[in-house]
Amino acid sequence: MKINQLLENKNFKLLNDVPYLDEEITYIRSCDLLSLVMAKGEKGDAWITVQTHSNIVAVASLLEMSCIILPESIKPEETTLIKATENDIPIISTPFDVYKTMKEFSF
């Protein structure tokens, strides 16, 4: 599934302005320990996390993840959105919990 296909679902809302949304989401990963994400994360992953500080963008960007998904309508810090926009990392918000979010995907 591509990012823009995910965004056709009204339960997924893009929070920042990024130019490319046609990237393929190759896997979905849920984890809040940054070192574990760094060790296991892969290019193309959509990363579900409840962390909202700007360092999640550093992790997603280094690993070339496709996007960050914040579940349960959790709001990111303003600096996170700014940094994500600078680094072309889409931040997506959903009211869904982790399980319901993951159910939207099949690989």
Partner 1 sequence: MKFEYTISNLNFSTAGEASSNIKKVLKLLGIDSKIIRRAAIATYEAEINIAIHSHGGKIILYIEEDSIKITAIDKGPGIENIELAMKEGYSTATHEIREMGFGAGMGLPNIKKCSNEFSITSEFGKYTKLEITIFI
Q: Which residues contact 52 (CB under 8 A, 6 or more apart)?
A: 70, 74, 75, 76, 77, 80
Question: Among residue numbers 50 through 69, which ones bind partner 1 (CB under 8 A)?
Answer: 51, 53-59, 61-63
Q: What is the rounded distance in angstroms from the CA atom of residue 48 to the CA atom of residue 106?
A: 15
The interface region with partner 1, picked from 6-14, 16-24, 32-40, 92-100 by CB under 8 A, is: 32-40
Q: Does residue number 30 form part of the binding site for partner 1 (CB under 8 A)? A: no
Q: Does residue number 72 form part of the binding site for partner 1 (CB under 8 A)? A: no
Contact residues: partner 1, CB under 8 A: 32-36, 38-39, 49, 51, 53-59, 61-63, 79, 83, 87
